[in-house]
Structure 1
């Protein structure tokens, strides 16, 4: 947005800040929040504090920096109110779980380490943020965040004798320890539930879908999911039965188990798959005055996801059935993507694909958050500052989304 557009929306922004940042009761805090949101939305190549303050009238960069980096305001009430408001407005079809990277040069920023990030497509020096987004086909909003803490930053697992000093310098709370990204995702889902929201469905990429613990955690919470998995994920055919090995009369009698070995989703689809063409929604392209439907070829099979985790959880029981979905585009020798879903057997195939493909929204979100709203432009080096910044960026994104929904011609942040 340009400065004229932001000034035109000043009254709307004041109402939005008063609602979402209502928990910030100290004098000047809501004004600082409004200024920061304006700085994020106004056109500009760099959205770090100094350049933003230079584009705002009557705002000093030191005051803005103190508000983001040092002021002790709690992000949780802000995130809760933001999530509640956006849940009511956009009525999400699903919650999308994903992570993104902040590329870094040094080692002082909290949780920075050499690790893989899809942002760079390789292992590099970066921070990783995990988010849960409320998504539909037409609108979405980040609702919660966690900064992933690598094992190298955990005094319980790091061999580095300097880890405590690094944590103190970055302001990392003592209770924060290394947790896998899928555990952080479940933590955030529980937190959102505690704020009065209910997940209609979870979608996620293979970084989360490959974790049987994550899928089982969703099942325990009675949350349906459609999650991508890797080609080597092990499953049983749905009609595989458990048998009891012969008892030799010595020791404890054996329990029933699956005698047939597991098979990878790739091998099963190649063996048993019958691809069919499915169209799941209208695309953005127009042909002959009508939108072109999004379509591809897919295989649908009923399976029993396998693995030690699930065998332990369902000891003495049949493993639960699930959908295995594979996208097998025309002209390809094998499928290109695989998903598992615990949705009912009666779920229409078109609906399964629509949910599986819904995760594209989060890629759109990350692109807008980074290129338009400066998500990865924050230069501070504190745990609290990172959480303040991503919360403010999420609020700016939500405000822009509300403007687009209520005023379709509203400008997009640049």
Structure 2
């Protein structure tokens, strides 16, 4: 059980084993310890002053923003720890919104957040949360660069954005993340739960997941195409429900972590009409299920999901949907307790370093809750300073 201050040192030694230099591994522990222990805003200066008792913020800033350590093997090691402890049932894809007031930080612009439903000055990230009934933890990230950054050579130079990093759709980023995890890391593929209800390219998303042999539960809008008839007519989600009898079909009540139970209907799209071509994109010819959550008013759709999850238990899809609020709470905890929004650097490398270290801090605290039933490793600043000072 994680109970002592030394547990964090052992955890960091394992997580940061891929870092080539001893000083990098030590600064990694300092930063993660600060994210875990320092109350309030977790700035580099507050971390260095609280833990070291001296001004070491320049060295810590250099470790986060400029040091050459590779974040990918660190994330892979975090994912292994999460998988072993949490036994996750899905990879839930979330949008990370990091509000920013200036224009110099990497990827900052006036952008529309699907999560908030409005335009604001922010950085947008894509994060894959490994989620299970006991919790959720971030295992991989991508920074979504706005189109405006492709030609802004001054900001790209100051933020040290690599030449190959350009604007790409979030689904291209998602495919890149999933390929890295399933091929590069050789992680066991889990069902992908993702909200594409605001996307005009949900068809491309589903096709990409299908081509990778992944199971998925994708939220879509009512206007999303789901089938093409022999006559050439394209059938949308809403029209497919009408053809299947709409809300008059069999329904199930499922409590998914909210205050009320939800009423769902499942419609199987016939295989003969399960192919749809939109802008040259075609679905494979096979049946899918359309899962609909109904609103309080009759025939009002709360949400609609397309899934290829095949199971003898219809509740399996509902259990996957119930992991979305679990992942959302995990992401909220990253912002409120693990310092996700407190990054002060401007560089591309620094952003990826910071979110990786935040993932490590969140995972350490989650492991403590799972094994010990409470917060762990939190000691006085003086005790922490004594231990960290002994490393230098």
Considering the TM-score relative to the shorter chain, is it more than 0.5?
A: yes
Determine the structure 1 residue equivalent to 2:262: 296
Alignment of 1:102-141 (within 5 A): 102-118=98-114, 120-141=116-137
Please give the per-residue CA displacement for 1:42-62, whole angstroms capped at 9, x wherever unaligned.
252211212222322345212
Determine the structure 1 residue equivalent to 2:277: 308
**1:56 pairs with 48, 51, 59, which one?**
51
**Aligned residues: CA RMSD:** 2.5
Alignment of 1:5-404 (within 5 A): 9-58=4-53, 60-118=56-114, 120-155=116-151, 163-193=152-182, 194-206=184-196, 207=198, 210-236=201-227, 258-259=230-231, 261-270=233-242, 272-273=245-246, 274-280=248-254, 283=257, 295-303=261-269, 304=273, 307-309=276-278, 312-313=281-282, 319-344=285-310, 346-404=311-369
CA contact (8 A) 2:38 2:50 kept: no
Deviates most, 259-268 or 377-386: 259-268
> When the two structures are superposed, what TM-score results if normalisation uses the length of structure 2?
0.87
CA contact (8 A) 1:97 1:130 kept: yes
Unaligned runs of 5+ in 2: 379-392
> When the two structures are superposed, what TM-score results if normalisation uses the length of structure 1?
0.82
Shift, 1:267, TM fit: 3.9
1:227, 1:351 → 2: CA distance? 14
1:142, 1:61 → 2: CA distance? 26
Aligned residues: 369
When residues 57 and 23 of structure 1 are mapped into structure 2, their CA distance, relative to the original with a 3 A threshold, is same
Unaligned runs of 5+ in 1: 1-5, 156-162, 241-257, 286-293
1:210, 1:179 → 2: CA distance? 13
Shift, 1:332, TM fit: 4.6
2:38, 2:114 → 1: CA distance? 27
Shift, 1:349, TM fit: 2.2
